[in-house]
Chains A and B, each alone.
Chain A
Amino acid sequence: MPETRIRSDLHGVIWKIEVAVGDRVAQGDTLILIESMKMEIPVSAPCAGVVSGIFVKEEQQVAEGEILAMITV
């Protein structure tokens, strides 16, 4: 089963995690909100599938390029 890793586009702090492992998501669904420069930047699902991994916690700092979650198609 192909897995898609979702990376952070920017430096920031994990503000909210909107999904849990096992959730089915559609393309474009918001998975995580990153707070950066006082804005809530949504990280959306690049494809439909099942959330098979979340590798960050709320309030955690993340760097650009860091893997946040994984979706299994």
Chain B
Amino acid sequence: MQILRILFLRLLTTLVTLAGVAVIVFFVIRVVPGNPIAMMLPPGATEADVARLSALYGLDKPLPTQFGIWVAGVMQGDFGTSITTRQPVLQLVLSRLPATLELSIMALVMAVILGGIAALVGTRRRGTGTEGAIDIANGMALSVPDFLWGLILILVFGVLVPVFHISGRVTPSLDLPFTTNFYLFESLLRLRFDLWADIVSHMFMPALALAIPLAAIIGQLLKQSLKETMNLDYVTLARTKGYGETRVILREALRNAALPTLTLVGVQFTFLIGGTVIIERLFSYEGLGNMAIDAVINRDLPLIQGIVILFAVIFVAVNMIVDLLYAVLNPRLRHA
């Protein structure tokens, strides 16, 4: 019963959040200067042309009416039609979503691995020069933002030592047998490792650029809480049982130390997803973020609304998953 109530409340707050996002995005993009009709018509179009086109897209009605029409559509799963491509927004957005999800998850996995290794090695070698080197590397990784890491990576692995592709999601000349847009996963499922390698080679640098700052945060926080945990009584007791230092860290300390880090990773992961907008642009990666920038440039109002709502849904989902993981890792919450 308890768990159902929590889920219900959670769902309710989620709906309120999404409604708020919908209101804000709808009105803000209509208040800022620039309108889609002006972008579509060639120079020298008459007032009558503008009025006709506005009527066609329903932009001549008062704002509250427009909002009502949009919300009514959204309720039925209709997010409207993109002004620039004349395709349904939902279809456009969902076709790009897999690319961004794959990129974000790849970046998250990289960040957890890099940050985790930094924290574990730093804890194992605490008090030595190795720990100092890790701290310095962490500080450097943190003080450079993701898009700058993107440029640095392009310079190093795209220009100086060209080992990775610097643009796109997959080599365009390749024949893709995929039925979904989850290229990375589907190529693995179909055992097409040649395609998989090509996709990874495209994804590697944008994912790494997104991962480096997050890896540094994970590394710092996890190392800090590992160090504190290593002084606790149950860790000392485990030492007297004959366990070596590495086993003590992995077996006794890691799980308890990971809890505070997990919450933070959840929050930071949503920032990382936000970072995909610029990073996808930088690497011409065909994802949601890249589409969002195009949509803003073209004042494609329905498309902007659709993308922002989808991002909001992703953020809410990430927070939910983090809460669930936290409960799984922490037995004290599971029974409460």
Chains A and B form a bound pair:
no
Q: Which residues of A contact B (CB under 8 A)?
A: none
